[in-house]
Amino acid sequence: MLQVIAREDAIQCVETCAARLAVRTEVLPLRCACGRVLAQDIISERAVPPFDRSTMDGFAVCAADTFGAGAAIPAELAVVADIKMGEAATAVLSRGQCARIATGGMLPKGADAVVMVEQTEDLGDLCLCYGAVAPGANVTRKGDDIACGSAVLRRGTALGAGQIGALASLGVRQVPVFEKPRVAVISTGDELVQADPTDGQICDCNSDLLYAAATADGCEVFCFGAVKDDRAQIRAAMEACLARADIILISGGSSAGAKDMTVGILRELGTVHFHGIAMKPGKPTIFGTVGEKLVFGLPGHPLAAYFVYRTVVCAALQKLLCLPQQMPIGSGRLLENIPSNHGREELLCVRIDKNGGVTPLHTKSGILSVLTEAQGYVRISRNAEGLQKGEEIDIYRL
pLDDT digits (tens, 9 = 90+) for 9-38: 999 999 999 999 988 999 999 999 999 999
> Is residue 69 a contact partner of residue 131, using CB atoms and an 8 Å limit?
yes
Q: What percentage of the chain carries pLDDT values higher than 70?
A: 98
Mean pLDDT of all residues in 374-378: 92
What is the CATH classification number for the domain harbouring 356?
2.40.340.10
Q: Which amino acid would we find at residue 88?
A: A
Looking at the predicted structure, is the pLDDT value of residue 257 above 70? no
For the ranges 26-40, 60-74, 303-317, 362-376, the lowest mean pLDDT is seen at: 362-376
CB atoms within 10 A of CB 14: 24
C-alpha to C-alpha distance for 83 and 42, rounded to whole angstroms? 33
Mean pLDDT to the nearest integer, 260-272: 92
Q: Could you tell me the pTM of the whole model?
A: 0.82
Q: Answer yes or no: do 128 and 237 share one domain.
A: no
CATH number at residue 109: 2.170.190.11
| In contact, 234 and 179? CB cutoff 8 Å | no
Instruction: Give me the pLDDT at residue 144, please.
Output: 93
Segment 159-171 mean pLDDT = 94
Instruction: Tell me which of 58-72, 205-219, 360-374 is least confident.
Output: 360-374
pLDDT at residue 132 above 90? Answer: yes
Determine which of 113-117, 342-346, 366-370 has the lowest per-residue pLDDT on average. Answer: 366-370
The boundaries of the domain holding residue 203 are: 7-24+180-320
* 197 plus 299 within the same structural domain: yes
| Shared-domain flag, residues 32 and 173 | yes
Q: What is the pLDDT of residue 384?
A: 84
Residues 72, 73, 79: CA angle, nearest 5 degrees: 125
Q: Residue 254 pLDDT more than 80?
A: no
Taking residues 145-163, report their average pLDDT: 94
174, 184: one domain:
no
- Which whole number is the average pLDDT over 359-364? 85
Q: How many CA atoms lie within 13 A of 115 on its CB side?
A: 31
CATH code where residue 240 lies: 3.40.980.10
Residue 256 has pLDDT above 70, yes or no: no
Reported as a pLDDT band with limits 50, 70 and 90, residue 362 is confident
Q: What's the pLDDT at 163?
A: 96
- Whether 119 and 247 map to the same domain: the answer is no
Is the pLDDT reported for residue 285 higher than 90?
Answer: yes
Give the C-alpha separation, 302 to 307, whole Å.
Answer: 9
Helix 231-242 to helix 262-269 angle (10° resolution) is: 50
Do residues 302 and 187 share a domain? yes
Q: Is 325 within the bounds of a domain?
A: no
pLDDT at 174: 96
* pLDDT given for residue 259 in this prediction: 61
pLDDT at 291 > cutoff 90: yes
Same domain, 306 and 164: no
Q: Region 71-82: what's the mean pLDDT?
A: 95
Indicate the DSSP class of residue 38: B
Q: Is residue 152 part of a domain?
A: yes
Supply the pLDDT for residue 383: 84
